[in-house]
Chain A
Amino acid sequence: MGREEILNSVRKNKPELLPLPEINADLFNEDIDLLSGFKEKVPLVGGTIKQLTSPKDIDNEITMMYPNATNIVNRTQVSSLGTVSISDKTQPKDLEDVDLAILRGTFGVAENGAIWISEEQFYIRALPFITNDLLIILDKKDICQNLHEAYELISKRKRTFGLFISGPSKTADIEQCLVIGAQGALSLTVLLI
């Protein structure tokens, strides 16, 4: 249904072939400090960011920040706070009561405070959204400048599902008042190690 009709109509109506412009990434290069740029952006998009001196402090820090979290999914090697385990059998709906999800981020983007996370890190696609709070652990070396670099970095990935996440879920749909915590996670904390 429709396919041939649409393609034929496109063929009939399209203009002559125009060249595809090249992206010259040099045009967008800025001489900025990636780490401090990223650290500035995360709060601007509503997130919290903390730099730890030692990975040993991770669990302490998390416990201090989320003292009431009991249902915790930990998907990292560097924390041991997980209380809920997930497997192939886990249904996304089973995660309804997760208080906190702890994930590893692949890399951060200095221009917008976004972090690339993918299915390999969270396993169940709904996890970073359905969890009440989200915490991402990121290596401070893993920060790139802008999205042009970011797409270079993920160009070889296994493509299933992944996202750039920038801050907690938010909305301004009621009279343009910014409210943090719409349908996704209510908070996003980034721990830099």
Chain B
Amino acid sequence: MNHAQKAEIFNKNEAKVNWHDKALWYVREKRDNAAHGVKGWEQLRDLASGVKAHVLSNLDELLIEFETNAQKNGITVHWASNAEEHNKIINKILTEKNAKKVVKSKSMLTEECHLNPYLESKGFEVVDTDLGEYIVQIAKETPSHIVLPAIHKTKEEVDTLFQEHLGTKPSDGNPEYLTNEARKHLRTKFLTADVAITGVNFAIAETGGFVVCTNEGNADMGAHLAKTHIACMGIEKLIPKEAHLGIFLRLLARSATGQPITTYSSHFNKPTEGSEMHIVIVDNGRTEQLSREDFRSSLHCIRCGACMNTCPIYRRSGGHSYDATIPGPIGSILSPGKDLTKHSSLPFASTLCGSCSNVCPVKINIHEQLYKWRQIITKDVEQPVVKKTILKMTGKVFSKPKFYGLAGRSVRFMLKYAPRFLVYSKLNAWGKARELPQIKNGNFDQWYKEKRSK
């Protein structure tokens, strides 16, 4: 099933889609407020982008510097070329530690490597401890958003799940009650876990340390209570100096949820006496993406989720419709790099309005990269796969290169007009039930005709 077909399924529940759309837009607005409150926000984004570009151009040296410094501090460093090696390394550590119970905090990388099913098949108990991830884990689903994993679930659905798995009383989905029940349950998991696995938000070459950001405190509860802490990171998580955290931590939470900073920004440099700290550095397709000049900067991503919250397609199609670990605009650039045939419909799941690029804290030109993938896909992938479902919808607009040229030059203009047209027109699934809205000062068709005749 391609993206549009999956989106159609998500759109069957109109009320839920509307809620999803609104809830994410609200997060986007909170992001705007937070960003506007920072003097020099645009300069911060420029700096972040510049630092990340430097990192990619010097990644081998920085990785070695990071490894050396981490080892000096007593951290064991492992390297994995792909998901399989990553999972095997973790299995080996767990086996050596004679571990049975594992608690995990949010890590999109371990999702990407399908670590949970792998470990479960080896007989380990694995519990996701971020509340949203815990919900999707017991629902036997995957996260539908990288920051808000359970955004696709209603509180009533969570209520039912908790009754089943935690024996809670029916509460009509009372968030306080349910959160507190999860807290109690997860406490027992933290207290009895042998190993904690966390992600890494930033790894610092200069110090060999790493930073993990959460709001719930679950990464820390795991890491400090278990005797062994394994932190998994993609090679692109590196930054040169600790002072650069000043840039990235100012941007991350504001872009993600509109908070000025996450509740906990934990700086790990050394294991405590009697404990072990491991870092697994993973490639899994990243160096290949590094080789693609047009798509290289997608590796700047700090996983804030802002591009998802702002995307009119994402908001009305839901994260699962992308059928990829990282959904939304950035996922639609990353996924085709991994499997072009499977993910060939994703670069078309966009209006190319450019809103994603406008909010991205590390200034990835997301919509331009989406357009570049489209050109490759229409050339490389067998036409019928693409054509039937995608060109039908986008063909009108995008078969005219001149039109795109115009859009590229006046993104602001497109931002105002294009999304509405493309989202709500009858040509696609995302806005099927919607009517084409009136646009101030005339309508889109008229505007388009005028432009076309020029």
Contact = CB atoms under 8 A, between A and B. Distances in A.
A174 interface: yes
A176 B269 contact: no
Interface in A37-91: 41, 44-46, 88
A167 B179 CA distance: 17
B73 A159 contact: yes
- The prevalent SS among residues of A at the interface is loop
A10 B287 contact: yes
A13 B283 CA distance: 13
A185 B243 contact: no
A82 B379 CA distance: 71
A166 B262 contact: yes
Contacts of A151: 242-243, 245-246
A99 interface: no
Contacts of A96: 187, 191
28 contacts: A1-B80, A1-B81, A5-B283, A6-B63, A6-B287, A15-B296, A17-B58, A18-B58, A23-B47, A28-B40, A46-B263, A92-B225, A112-B261, A129-B224, A147-B250, A159-B73, A163-B266, A164-B264, A166-B262, A173-B179, A174-B153, A174-B158, A175-B173, A176-B27, A181-B180, A182-B216, A183-B217, A184-B217
A9 B291 CA distance: 9
Interface residues of B, number: 96
A123 B190 CA distance: 19
B261 A166 contact: yes
B269 A161 contact: yes
Given A23-B243, A181-B180, A14 B290 contact: yes
Given A19-B50, A126-B225, 5 more contacts: A7-B63, A13-B287, A18-B53, A170-B216, A174-B131
Contacts, number: 265
Given A28-B44, A129-B220, A6 B283 contact: yes
Contact of A18 (B38, B57, B259): B57
A155 interface: yes
Interface of A: 1-3, 5-7, 9-21, 23, 27-30, 41, 44-46, 88, 92-93, 96, 109, 111-114, 124-126, 128-130, 146-148, 150-152, 155, 159-177, 179, 181-185
B218 interface: yes
Contacts of B293: 15
Contacts of A29: 39
A184 B215 CA distance: 9
